Amino acid sequence: MEKKVLSAIVENKPGVLTRVAMLFRRRGYNIYSLAVGETEKAEISRMTIVVEADEKMLWQIIHQLSKLIEVIDVINISETPSVERELVFFKVQADSSKRGEIIQIADIFRARIVDVAPESLIVEITGDSGKIEAITDTLKPYGILEIARTGKVAMVRGSKRGNNK
DSSP string, 51-74: EEE-HHHHHHHHHHHHHSTTEEEE
In 3D space, the residue among 11, 6, 103 whose CA is nearest the CA of residue 52 turns out to be 6
pLDDT, residue 161, reads 58
- Burial profile 77-111: b = 16 or more Cβ within 10 angstroms, e = fewer: bbeeebebbbbbbbbbebeeeebeebbebbeebeb
Domain range annotation of the chain: 2-79, 83-153
Has residue 124 got a pLDDT over 90? Answer: yes
Helix (H) / strand (E) element for 140: namely none
pLDDT, residue 143, reads 96
What percentage of residues in the chain have a pLDDT greater than 90?
Answer: 78
The two domains 2-79 and 83-153 share their CATH topology (first three levels equal): yes
Query: Which option is the CATH number for 2-79: 3.40.50.1000, 3.30.70.260, 3.30.70.890, 1.20.1250.20?
Result: 3.30.70.260
pLDDT, residue 79, reads 82
Strand partners, 47: 8, 36
Q: Which CATH number is 83-153 given?
A: 3.30.70.1150
Render pLDDT for 19-56 as a digit per residue (tens, 0 to 9): 999 999 998 888 999 999 999 999 999 999 999 988 99
- Per-residue pLDDT, averaged over 107-136, amounts to 96
Has residue 164 got a pLDDT over 60? Answer: no
pLDDT, residue 99, reads 94
Distance CA 98, CA 52 (A): 38
Backbone angles phi, psi at 43, to 5 degrees: -85, 0
